[in-house]
Amino acid sequence: MKILLAPLDPVHDAGLKLIKRKLEALGYQCVLLPPDITVEEIGEAAVREKVDMIFVGRTVGYNVEQLFRRVRHVLTAQGIFGKVRVAIGGMAVTDELAKNLGFEAGYGPHTTIEEIHALIERNPELAQHITHPVKHKPQFPFPHDNTVKDSTTQKYLDQIVDGILDWTSNKTSPGVVRARITESQLQEVKGSVESYTALPFTRDYLAQCDEAVVDFFQKNICPPSVRQITQKEADAYNRRIDIARKNFHPRALQHGRKKPLVFVQYGTGCPMMDGMHIKVAESWGADGVLHFDPAWGARTEGLLDGFLANVEDGTPVTYANLSLIKHSLDAATLWTVRAHRGLNTPEIAVLAGFLGADMTKINIGYGSICGGTDPARLAVDGTEAIRIAARYHMPFDIPTNEELAGVPPHKAFAGMLVMAQLGRRLNARPILKPLLCHGPYIMVHELMEQNYVDYNFAKIRALQTLADFPIWPGEPIGFMTHTEEKEQSATTTSLHVALCATLGLDAVTTASTDEAFSHGPITSAGRVGSLRSIEEAFRFFGQTEIAPSAKANDWTEELIVGINRTLKAVAEAPSFVEALYQGILGNKEDGVYPGRAGRNSVVAARTSTRAAAFKAPLDAVPKVSALGK
Amino acid sequence: MTTARDTIVDALDIESFVLCESEKDAKELVGKLMQSLGLSRFVIVSLDFNGPGAHFRVRAYMNKPGENYTWLKE
């Protein structure tokens, strides 16, 4: 097939030059006319060259409709229009405009060569992957050795992990008991949301709960900021999700890179608002999402149940809420449910596992000294949660947001590596989640006065030197570098993403442009702004890399020494739990202290009166409806 | 859905530049602007005063998490 490419601009024929090169690569014979030609000369060239098809391009937007009317008029007068196929393109051209004027098709500035190829061959399937893209869920985490490389680090970690397993081996807690009751009930109903929410709650479960949870189930009293979602709302919501799904065209942000995958965190308070934010994030290229629960949920013994909305930050973890969110997800979207920091850690891991979550989140150290949970309690519950994660084949990530409270990175990273090694010992798949932030320790020690590159580079290089686990910075990246000004916020997020791409990292958790805005809920538009900026950063840097200064090497060495020094101190402590109480992984001087929630709730596995209730005969308590009336 | 406003997922942001002589003036002007538009549930997200005036972004919430969303109306 022979194609004539005709520019109707005085000089702007770059688009047609590009099309010519690509069509010739596909095997077509192309004739590109020079700029500064008349419409009549296009027709004359078509006859002279005996072409099968003409593409007329007009880059400049003004007067475009009148100009193309004249093109059709002249080509018709020359006896060409109707015999030779004619399509038009340009900045102001749409397919609708072209067809209204009688042309075969019209193309705007974002048209791909695949779409032009499909038109030429009259075969829409040639552009199917462009016009109807399909995104597949990646196998995540990406392959790593999952081993500690540094022998000194390995030695300390093994000592510490031996101690944790020994210390927790004969202990249990209300959280562990509830997790087993919940798992048993979910097995009984084979994971069915309807059947599970219809089950009566047992006194065994309520015996392990705080009064607020007991009141919820027995007296239908919701916590102050929580309300039940009605059936009518849920039905209307599901219809909105169906519409979103029907019109969904997935995007890939990475511009040819395989990683880092881009995650966004949600937890507006309401699973329906979360679901809509998730649909927005998926549509603008997010590869995965993370569920965040409210702070009070982490400090209350027991989980609520049913479809619940919270008017404050954090969406209540219930089996029904999680199932509603799961239903909202695209098949390609990776889903993480945070379990790590509170009194319901093992039970949330069970819910996540039953619903097929891709990952969960567990960190004993962070939850103990920053999350408000007693170290002994979280050592028991966190270890159990890792076992649950392994049983449900859920990798778990280990956030180190201790840095936000002032803990130096070497201490936070030491705790993270302990969790990773504990995870490996329990046959789970840990993911390191360092925080790339301008945190208090970094500010006070002026480690980022010159740039945000060198110290972040050193942090990641230190981890990569010591061990080979997947690394997924969060939560979110660039923490405390954002301002309320949206362009600044989107820019700092996207540059941190670019840095993570240079470092070869597996994934990133990213903020919306509302990250620094604290006077109200974040918005869906803020998610779009940030994801568009990230897409542009990937486009800008491509496969190139950001280079740190020599200072990064010095800091890498300092961090490695600091991590091993901390691990040595933990290994020499009477136990890991005692190390947390003593502040070896972060103390009051740093800005953190052991949590109190759940203190004195750890008991010997066989003598607990509360735990013994688990074995008592079932005594059913009517449960409130999953949906409000 | 009954109105275009009902289709807004969460909030309507308005960004512009007002001519004024101080940050305090700018905040007052933005408040008056939002009241004149009938958008009383608003919050200033960012405001940067310098030289001739202030660059601002103000947010009017249509649907906050946990409320009865307008986009779920039949």
For the stretch A74-105, pLDDT in tens is: 999 999 999 999 999 988 888 899 999 999 99
For the stretch A200-249, pLDDT in tens is: 777 789 999 999 999 998 888 988 889 999 999 999 999 999 999 999 98
User: What pTM does this model have?
Assistant: 0.90
User: Cβ contact (<8 Å) for B72 and A519?
Assistant: no
Mutate to test the interface with B, among A308, A512, A523 (most CBs of B within 10 A): A523
Nearest Cβ partner of B66 from A227, A483, A484?
A: A227
For the stretch A527-541, pLDDT in tens is: 999 999 999 999 999
The minimum CA-CA distance between B72 and chain A, rounded to whole Å, is 5
Q: What integer pLDDT is reported at residue A619 of this predicted model?
A: 45
Of the ranges A17-21, A341-345, B21-25, which is most confident? Answer: B21-25
Mutate to test the interface with A, among B46, B63, B67 (most CBs of A within 10 A): B46
Question: How far, in Å, CA of A530 to CA of A362, rounded?
Answer: 27
* A500: its two tokens: 């993570």
- How far lies A458's CA from each of A462, A471, B19, in Å? 6, 14, 45
Q: Residue A311: is its pLDDT beyond 90?
A: no
Q: What integer pLDDT is reported at residue A131 of this predicted model?
A: 73
What's the sign of the alpha-carbon dihedral A554, A557, A561, A564? Answer: positive
Taking each helix axis from N to C end, the angle separating A409-425 and A454-466, rounded to the nearest 10 degrees, works out to 30
Q: Residue A174: is its pLDDT beyond 90?
A: yes
What CATH number labels B5-65? Answer: 3.30.30
User: Cβ contact (<8 Å) for A525 and B13?
Assistant: yes
**What is the DSSP code string of A593-613?**
----BTTT--EETTT-HHHHG
Domains detected in chain A: 2-131 (3.40.50.280), 147-430 (3.20.20.440)
Question: How far, in Å, CA of A289 to CA of A329, rounded?
Answer: 9
Contact call for residues A30 and A11 (beta carbons, < 8 A) = no
With bands split at pLDDT 50, 70 and 90, how would you rate the model's confidence at B65? very high
Angle at A49 between CA A43 and CA A51, to 5 degrees: 80
For the stretch A351-410, pLDDT in tens is: 999 999 999 999 999 999 998 999 999 999 999 999 999 999 999 999 999 999 999 999
Q: Look at strands A85-89 and B53-61 and give their pairing.
A: unpaired
Closest Cα in chain B to A228: B66
Terminal CA-CA length for chain A: 66
Mean pLDDT of all residues in B4-27: 96
More confident site: A306 or A110: A306
Question: How far, in Å, CA of A88 to CA of A345, rounded?
Answer: 60
β-partners of residue A4 are: A31, A54
Q: Residue A66: is its pLDDT beyond 60?
A: yes
User: Cβ contact (<8 Å) for B72 and A240?
Assistant: yes
Nearest Cβ partner of B48 from A309, A485, A514?
A: A485
Q: What integer pLDDT is reported at residue A207 of this predicted model?
A: 92
For the stretch A242-274, pLDDT in tens is: 999 999 989 999 999 999 999 999 989 999 999
Q: What integer pLDDT is reported at residue A166 of this predicted model?
A: 97
Round the CA-based radius of gyration of chain B to a whole number and report it: 14
Task: Report the b/e string of A4-34 with b at 16+ CB within 10 A.
Answer: bbbbbbeebbebbeebbebbeeeebebbbbe
Contact call for residues A105 and A98 (beta carbons, < 8 A) = yes
More confident site: A555 or A115: A555
Closest Cα in chain B to A489: B46
With bands split at pLDDT 50, 70 and 90, how would you rate the model's confidence at A611? very low
Contacts with A227 from chain B: Cβ below 8 Å: 66
Q: What integer pLDDT is reported at residue A609 of this predicted model?
A: 44
For the stretch A188-198, pLDDT in tens is: 999 898 888 88
For the stretch A583-599, pLDDT in tens is: 999 999 999 999 999 99
Closest Cα in chain B to A268: B65
Contact call for residues A200 and A607 (beta carbons, < 8 A) = no
